[in-house]
Structure 1
Amino acid sequence: MTTKQIEVSILGQPYRLACSAETEDALREAVARVDAEMGKVRTASNVRGTDRIAVMAALSLASELLKLQNSVRHGEAFPAEEIRHTVHQMNEQLGAVIAQYEAQ
């Protein structure tokens, strides 16, 4: 896995980040999400100072993550990988039943 440097901007501030080619798209998406959240905090509140804006944005994103985790825990939402795994298991079970039926 080769590491590369990418240039990004958050609230107008440039940052150089290291990532692999495989994770670049996800990192750029995360940067865009953080930039958007920090922009929202700056626009919607009287919070000043990039560090304070960053903390408020981090709290907002953490709250969003916790809500999602709770909904997954309570069966209200399912992670895509869990769905794929369940569908794969169901297909295997169906295949076994069909093979048994055809063997009769």
Structure 2
Amino acid sequence: MTTKQIEVSILGVPYRLACSPETEGALLEAVARVDAEMSKIRNNSNVRGTDRIAVMAALSLASELLKLQTSVRHGEAFPAEEIRRTMHQMNEQLGTVIQQYSMQ
């Protein structure tokens, strides 16, 4: 697997990260999300210090993740890949049934 180095900035602090070309887009999205969350906390609260801001951002993002996981478990939300897989299976089953009836 090929890795490359990318330069990113979180709260104005530069970081060099290693990633594969295939995961670069997702990593850049994650960096943008973390930077946005940390900026929001820095600008809208009395929390000071990058380490404390990072912990608060991590807690906020973890809370969002847990809420999403709970809603998925309760059937309130479905991951897109699961929906695609289910639709593909249903289309295959429908195709098989249609083919059987068209041969009769």
1:6 CA drift (Å): 0.4
Counterpart of 1:84 in structure 2 is 84
Question: Counterpart amino acid of 1:52?
Answer: R
Give deviations 1:29-81, integer Å, cap 9, x for gaps: 10000000000111111111000000000000000000111111111111011
Q: Paired residue for 1:70?
A: 70
The 3-state SS of whatever aligns with 1:35 is: helix
**Using the alignment, how far apart are the partners of 1:88 and 1:25 within structure 2?**
26
Moved over 4 A (4+): none
Aligned-partner SS, 1:5: strand
Query: What aligned pairs does 1:1-80 form with structure 2 within 5 A after superposition?
Result: 1-80=1-80
Classify the secondary structure of the residue corresponding to 2:42.
helix
Partner Cα separation in structure 1 for residue 90 and residue 17 of structure 2: 42
Q: Per the alignment, in what secondary structure is the counterpart of residue 29 of structure 2?
A: helix
**Counterpart amino acid of 2:14?**
P
Task: Give the TM-score normalised by the residue count of structure 1.
Answer: 0.97
Paired letter, 1:83: I
Report the aligned-residue RMSD. Answer: 0.6
In structure 2, list runs of 5 or more residues that go unmatched: none
Name stretches of at least 5 consecutive residues in structure 1 with no aligned partner. none
- % same residue: 86
Secondary structure class of the residue paired with 2:14: strand
